[in-house]
A and B are shown apart, each in its own frame.
Chain A
C-alpha cells in the first residue's frame, strides 16, 4: 500500500532508506543531467534546450555498432 503516510516510521526502515540514498545519490551517475543526482536543484527558467541533435556516440559503442552491422 502506498497511501499510508500516517504509518509510524520504524527507525530501522528510516535508516535503511537513508543508506540507500547515500549509496544511490553519491553522484550524478548517468548520461543525463538537468535533474541529475548530486546537482543543486536549478530553478525552472523555461524551456530546456532539446538534447540529442548533436549526439556523438562513444568510441567503444561506435565500434560495437559497426560490428553489429556486419
Chain B
C-alpha cells in the first residue's frame, strides 16, 4: 500500500490508493488515454508541460524505460522539457484551430466523411447516449473530437465497462481514423511538441487495436 494522496482520476471513488483498484495494465491504459485527451483538448500550460516532462525524470523508472511504448513516452517527455508554453499554444492553434487554416481537423466526421458533423457524429451520439455520457453544459464542441473519444475510452476502462463494450466503441469510433490522425500529426508542418504526441498516439492506437482484438 502506498501513502495516501488525492487521486484526481476518481475523487470519491472506492479506491483512494491511486489506481482505482484496476490491474496495472488497465490503469496504464486509462492513463495513456487520459494524457492524450488532455494534450489534444487544449494546449498544456507550463504546469502541464512540467508534469509531462516529469514522465522521464526518474532514470530507474521501469515503466518509462522498459514498459509499453517506452521510446514514445521518453520522446514526449523530452519534447515537453524543452517546450515553451506560448509556442505550444501557438502550435496548437496552427494545427487544430485556425479558421480554415488549421492544418488538421481532429474530428471523426471530417476524417471519415470529409465533412464535419456528418453521419459518424450521429452514430457517436447514439452510442454516447447509450453509455450514459452527455455534453458538458456550455461546451459546444462536437463530441467526435479526438480528445473526447480518448476521454470516453479512459472512462470506459476506469469504470470497468466490459471489454466487449470497450472494443465496440473503439472499433466504431477510434480505430477507423485514430491511427491516421496521429500519423498525420507526426508529419504536420506546424507540429513541434505535438509531433511527439502523434508519435505516442499512433503506436498506442495500434496497441489498443491488438489488445482489444485479443481480449475476451
Q: Which residues of A contact B (CB under 8 A)?
A: 1-5, 7, 9-10, 12-41, 48-52, 55-58, 60-61, 63-65, 67-69
Contact = CB atoms under 8 A, between A and B. Distances in A.
A65 B140 CA distance: 14
B12 interface: yes
Contacts, number: 209
B141 A18 contact: no
Contacts of A5: 23
A51 to B, nearest CB: 4
B188 interface: no
A31 B125 contact: no
A35 B131 CA distance: 10
Contacts of B32: 20, 24
B65 to A, nearest CB: 8
Contact of B155 (A35, A65, A67): A35
B115 A65 contact: yes
A40 B7 CA distance: 11
Interface in B129-175: 129, 132-137, 139-143, 145, 147-148, 151-152, 154-155, 159
